[in-house]
Structure 1
Amino acid sequence: MSALFNFQSLLLVFLLIICTSTYGHSIMPGIMDRNQSGFFGIFWKCARIGERLSPYVSICCVVMAVSIFFGG
């Protein structure tokens, strides 16, 4: 089943994009800041979400991991 039709998989994909973009921005901020608009602007926006809401994103990652681990 595609991640678009399974809500848990869709949330997992969003969390992975946010976490990966945040990590990528910490490694190479110049490249991410240069592409604030267009298609690659999505990753810049996800990096901002990950930086500003990091406690909530961390809690969501833990909840998702527990949910997947216990077969939800």
Structure 2
Amino acid sequence: MSAIFNLQSLLTVALLLICTCTYLKSFFPTVLDKNRTGVLKTFWKCARIGERLSPWIASSCLFMAFSILFLN
């Protein structure tokens, strides 16, 4: 089943995308900053969300990891 039709999988993919983009922006800031327009704008926006909401994203990742490991 695809991640689009399963809410937990969709949230996991979104959290991983946000965390990955934020991590890559910390090492290569110019790569994501130059892509503020076009199709790659999504990755820049995910990095901004990860930077600005980092405590919320971290707690969401911990909750998602707990639910995947112990509730499934």
Q: Normalized against structure 2, the TM-score is what?
A: 0.97
Cα-to-partner distance string for 1:5-49 (whole Å, 9 max, x where unaligned)? 000000000000000000011110011100011111100000000
What percentage of aligned pairs have identical amino acids? 57
Alpha-carbon distance between aligned partners in 2 of 1:30 and 1:70, rounded to the nearest angstrom: 39
In structure 1, stretches of 5+ residues that fail to align are none
Identify the residue that residue 69 of structure 1 maps to in structure 2: 69
Aligned counterparts of 2:11 and 2:31: Cα–Cα separation in 1 = 26
Residues paired across the two proteins, number: 72
Q: CA RMSD in A?
A: 0.7
SS at match of 1:35: coil
TM-score by length of 1: 0.97
What are structure 2's unaligned runs of at least 5 residues? none
